Chain A
């Protein structure tokens, strides 16, 4: 297997309108996968642009550098300087079909773009192609409050949907933090703080409408079907959940919604060791307390959290908990959880049930990524997302923290202990190659450890580009072969979001 290391002169000589303007030579470019494809030629793109304008209208197509740049990156580490060649804004499923047929004919890659809030460079364009920005398809197309289901187009975001639902006493609880596109969340199988009680996107998507690479429209559970369960044929819906835009353009998702809990109570509790915090979590789950959120923040994260948000929590491993239910149920759950925490040496138990108090608490948790970057101006961070069976978590975190401390890299550890999933943000200065190398090595050791502990390299963020190396080890050769053959069936020319998930296309 050859790896091509791209540096500035080589990139400039590639065919196609690969790079214009200011080229920041990022020393930590990931090696691109060996591929039989070239980037589309300038002529191809020009013709495609004309066809798209003819079919979708002048306003729906752009090749401005600024727009292309905006669409070629997300919130994760910048992996490439490659830009998409064009950006289009379809307004309907039919327009998506047209785009797919045109691109398919000309062999131009397509990259679906939701809100650009991903963390694994899922929207970047190593092979150019067109970025399909779905934000103009922003309707809630079908809402059935008494059946607890709703169907949305990709431009509908999580907060937008919850705003629409709140007057009906309903909500969609999957909460990855960002105000992401719901179809984008479907594509990455998003999870978040509420997963321990309400599940991830896998458990909450009933049906997906997707435009395949050749333009055909597929309804994964059948058109307009929205039964809560089904045994009919293969479960195509869950094939697309988590497919990261590599199997088609998702144009609709039918989601399960829930009643807003009567009462929500949040609590914070500090511990002397991470082990005590994780043990508390395991015991809470073992006691069958239907806890809604249980999140861990280590001392490094708490310190940053305090200074950034002007709070004064104890700088120690801390659990953030939330209980949902009726008033009696919530109070008894919290009391029981408090006893378990005290048994493990937990202290400083404080509660909040008023909306603004709870939101302040959780905002501090959700913003921790930004807090980390802000506390280290000019730096970026590698985000890890390992997930292991819960009982393995204390050891994994302990070893990871020891590693981090030894390396001198700043790396807060925090996450969804209730699912056995935790994140670290390994901070590095982009101008210091040795820091990046250290951060990468830490991430690699952590991920290999997680895989050895029967876990996964990515609990919720997706493979994107950064974790391609681990997928092979995680799935094994048969798994990878199966995935690739499915991919080749649905996308024989490998046009849907190329350069992601798999190290090679053969």
Chain B
């Protein structure tokens, strides 16, 4: 087997950062805040790199859509072992309202243009938690999909995938080409090492605009307001059960 794999890498606010809402409630503060690759996408890249090490894959293409800083995310993917990157530049208000459907359309077009055999993306992004891109991409391409993968084995032109589902684990077989989304227990991603970071600087990143892929990124939604969850109030202690019931009634809960 020698697959060409396309991996989606989203640039998100780092999971360790404390999120703050902008004073005008139009969104969260992203200026000067640490960003990194979506952890599920790191797992996706790691899986692709392992497949290349096992000689199942021959080339890994990393893809990211967003402002200029997405190039950093792509450099991380290249340092982990991807061969080349594709950056579709979208910024400003269009980036604020970008949706999984836009990304799926881009992935589908790239899959055809670059002759991709397998698309691996993280199962969801940690900022919007949508869990839609893999599924929509597969639908647009009319390819089989294996989502929430926790184990992937390649066998004679198809993949055997163990999926994490509510009831436990489900094993399915999907023919290639297909779309897979990576779940947490698929693998533990490697760290980029200094020599690989150096080498990654020389790997190519192709820059495209959404219209080059025939995708219209004008907003389909409008963000009305973004608010923090309510601040936790102090509790109150009461003397006995009757007092608890009185209090609950007074607050309108009983």
Contact = CB atoms under 8 A, between A and B. Distances in A.
Interface string B60-103: 00000000000000001001000000000000000000000000
A260 B193 contact: yes
Interface residues of B, number: 16
Interface string A460-495: 000000000000000000000000000000000000
A359 B189 CA distance: 12
Listed residue (B34, B190, B191, B194) with the most chain A CB atoms within 10 angstroms of its CB: B191
Nearest to B35: A167
B188 A260 contact: no
A259 B79 CA distance: 14
Nearest to A261: B193
Listed residue (B34, B76, B187, B193) with the most chain A CB atoms within 10 angstroms of its CB: B193
Interface in B10-63: 16, 34, 36
Given A356-B187, A359-B188, A167 B16 contact: no
Chain B interface mostly helix, strand, loop or mixed?
loop
Interface in A164-178: 164, 166-171
Contacts of A160: 16
Contacts of A168: 197
B192 interface: yes
B16 A355 contact: no
B196 interface: yes
Nearest to B16: A163
Contacts of A312: none
Given A167-B36, A169-B79, A260 B191 contact: yes
A354 interface: yes
Nearest to B72: A167
A169 B187 contact: no
Interface residues of A, number: 17
Interface string A351-381: 0001110010000000000000000000000
A169 B194 contact: yes
B188 A355 contact: yes
Contact of A355 (B36, B187, B195): B187
Interface in B123-167: none
Contacts of A355: 187-190
A166 B193 contact: no
Interface string B175-204: 000000000000111111111110000000
Contacts of A170: 194
Given A354-B187, A359-B188, A167 B76 contact: yes
A59 interface: no
Nearest to A140: B34
A328 interface: no
Contacts of B36: 167
Interface of A: 160, 163-164, 166-171, 259-262, 354-356, 359
6 contacts: A164-B34, A169-B196, A169-B197, A170-B194, A259-B193, A260-B191
Given A168-B197, A260-B191, 9 more contacts: A169-B197, A170-B194, A171-B191, A259-B194, A260-B193, A262-B196, A354-B187, A355-B188, A356-B187
